[in-house]
Amino acid sequence: MKKILNTPADYVDEMLDGLVAAYPEFYRLHGDSHRVVARAQAGRAGKVGIVSGGGSGHLPIFTGYVGTGLLDACAIGDVFASPSSEQMADAIRAADQGAGVLRLYGNYGGDVMNFDMAGDLVEFDDIRCTTVLLADDVASAAPEEREKRRGVAGMVYAFKIAGAAAEAGQDLDAVTRVAQKAADAVRSVGAALSSCTVPQAGRPTFDIAEDEMEMGMGIHGEPGVWRNKLRPADAIAGEMMDRLLADMPVGQGDRVSVLVNSLGATPPEELYILYRVVKARLEGAGASIVMPLVGRYATSMEMAGVSFTLLKLDEELEGLLRAPCDCAFWRVG
C-alpha cells in the first residue's frame, strides 16, 4: 500500500483536522466524536437544517458540501463505513435552528439504519426530522426495483437544490418535497478502470486487469453489469449515455444539467474528452444543457473511473440549481 498517511487508524480524524484547518471560514468540528463537520457559522434561527452522512473516501461528498446554500452539518464514518447513530444525531443537533431537519443521504443499508436510529435519539430534543434517500445509480437495480438502487453522485444535485430551498426560507415540508423532486429527476451511472485501497485494509478493494474496465461498478467496488477489455472513450461515453437515457428519456425542449465526475484518479483532460459525447447526445436529442459540471464532485479514493449524472429540470429545480451556494469545493453565484 502506497499512501501518504501516518497510521490507518488515524486516517479519517487527521483528514478532518486538515480540512477544517484549511477552510476555517466554511467548516468546524462539532461535538465530542470528532466526526461531525458543521458550518463555521450556524444557519440563521428558523432556517430548516439539512444533514447528510456516510463513509469517508468520497470527498467532496459528504463533508465538503457543508456550506451556505448546501448542507448545515454532516456525520462522517471510517473509509467506506457508516457513521454511528450517535454521530448522526450530533449532526442533526448541529443543524437544527428550530425549524426541523432534513436527512438527505444515499441509499445504503448502514446509513439508513443509523439515520433512523438518530431520528429516534433526537426526538428527546423535540427536533422534527424528515428523510429523502438518493437512489440514482441505474446500474444497481432495474427501474421496477428502483428503491434498491444505490445513491451516488446525484447527491450533489440534491444537496444543492434542497440547500437553496432552505436558504430561501421554505419550511421543512417544502424543502423535503423539492429534495424528493430532485431525487426523482436524477440518474447516474459509473465505469471503473482500477480499484482503490482502503487504508485499514491495506490492499485493493477488488482486482481488475490492466487492460480491463467494469461498467456500472459502485463507488465502494460493488460489482457492475459487465467487465471486459478497456474501450475507447467515445464508446464508453456512448454506452453510459445509452443506459441513462433508457432509464430517463430526454427529448426536444428538455433542460438538463449534467455532471461528468472523476471517481478520484481520472484527470480533467479525460473528463473533457468524455463530455464531448455527452453534450452531442443531449443536444442531438433536442435538449438544452444547464450548468454542466466537469470535475471531482464525488470520488472513491484513488479509483480510476468516471460517472455521469443527469438531472432533468423544470422551472423550480432550475431556479434552485442556479441559486447561490458557497463551500470549499463548489461556489455558485
Catalytic residue numbers, as ranges: 58, 220
Spatial separation of the C-alpha atoms in residues 311 and 237, rounded to whole Å: 17
Spatial separation of the C-alpha atoms in residues 41 and 90, rounded to whole Å: 16
Confirm if 128 and 172 have CB atoms less than 8 A apart: yes
Confirm if 281 and 289 have CB atoms less than 8 A apart: no
- Give Cα 252 distance to the centre of its chain: 28
Spatial separation of the C-alpha atoms in residues 27 and 7, rounded to whole Å: 24
3-state secondary structure the chain: CCCCCCCHHHHHHHHHHHHHHHCCCCEEECCCCCCEEEECCCCCCCCCEEEEEEEECCCCCCHHHECECCECEEEEEEECCCCCHHHHHHHHHHHCCCCCEEEEEECCHHHHHHHHHHHHHHHHHCCCEEEEEECCECCCCCHHHHHHCCCCCHHHHHHHHHHHHHHCCCCHHHHHHHHHHHHHCEEEEEEECCCCECCCCCCECCCCCCCEEEECCCCCCCCCCEEEECCCHHHHHHHHHHHHHHHCCCCCCCEEEEEEEECECCCHHHHHHHHHHHHHHHHHCCCEECCCEEECCCCCCCECEEEEEEEEECHHHHHHHHCCEECCCCEEC
